[in-house]
A = this chain, B = another copy of it.
């Protein structure tokens, strides 16, 4: 019987694609991954990966084995969730995945409320653009701007927020509409609703700054570089900015709360979810 930990390393390698990436997610050295995969090849008597200088690719046998072993990983994550769900009481660490600026602007400022109500809960707030997989427990709870489709999740729409154009007051005063400059997202966000909305407004005018970081957009707008499409929670809280009305139909994005089925009954997780709902409730 093969060592299960060897299988763990191999499955991770199969998913991540490179030894180094697998090593990072496993929290070990890449040499360890290489050796464990070699051990698995030894014990199965099959060649599982093609080792080449810069990339390692799975052989046909490797793909087959990886496919069969994938359910094993599913089960392993289920064990992890079951273990967390078995812990009694409202304590322990709960990790939240949310869009970066949403995390810093909306959630973080209110964390003291949660802290006051449930002192035993430790929060890990992960602001990241990529959608953390709740299935593999990269986070316990996730806030998403689109309805999650991952299997095994309980999802719930808990609110929404609108966008407006914002500019520095003195910039808007002195600049005629046809001469406005714009601040937009970079290519990585080209498909986002707010960027599409912004393009309909920009028309022939100029986009002078593209950035994927909303805070940078705020700073640039404050400095009078141009106008930016910002969520209300950001723009309205910045006194140096004011809204710039446009005829286009305003847009808004929905906020969805997602939790894995297995964790939804955990007291600490429930508490965090209620807190997140309250964060989004209109004051």
Contacts and interface: CB of A to CB of B under 8 A. Distances in A.
A8 interface: yes
Given A68-B82, A86-B61, A76 B8 contact: no
**Contact residue range for chain A?**
20 to 34
Interface in A39-81: 44-46, 61, 64-65, 68-69, 71-72, 74-76, 78-80
B1 A80 contact: yes
Interface string A1-18: 111110110000000000
A71 B82 CA distance: 13
Contacts of A2: 76, 79-80, 83
Contacts of A137: 1
Contacts of A74: 71, 75
A82 B65 CA distance: 7
A170 to B, nearest CB: 54
A71 B44 CA distance: 21
A81 to B, nearest CB: 8
Interface of A: 1-5, 7-8, 26, 44-46, 61, 64-65, 68-69, 71-72, 74-76, 78-80, 82-83, 86-87, 137
24 contacts: A1-B76, A1-B80, A1-B137, A3-B8, A4-B4, A4-B5, A4-B8, A4-B72, A4-B76, A5-B5, A7-B76, A7-B79, A44-B83, A44-B86, A46-B83, A46-B86, A68-B79, A68-B82, A71-B71, A71-B75, A71-B78, A72-B75, A72-B76, A75-B75
Given A7-B76, A46-B83, A71-B75, 16 more contacts: A1-B26, A2-B76, A2-B80, A2-B83, A3-B8, A4-B5, A4-B72, A44-B86, A45-B83, A45-B87, A64-B82, A64-B86, A68-B75, A69-B75, A74-B75, A75-B75
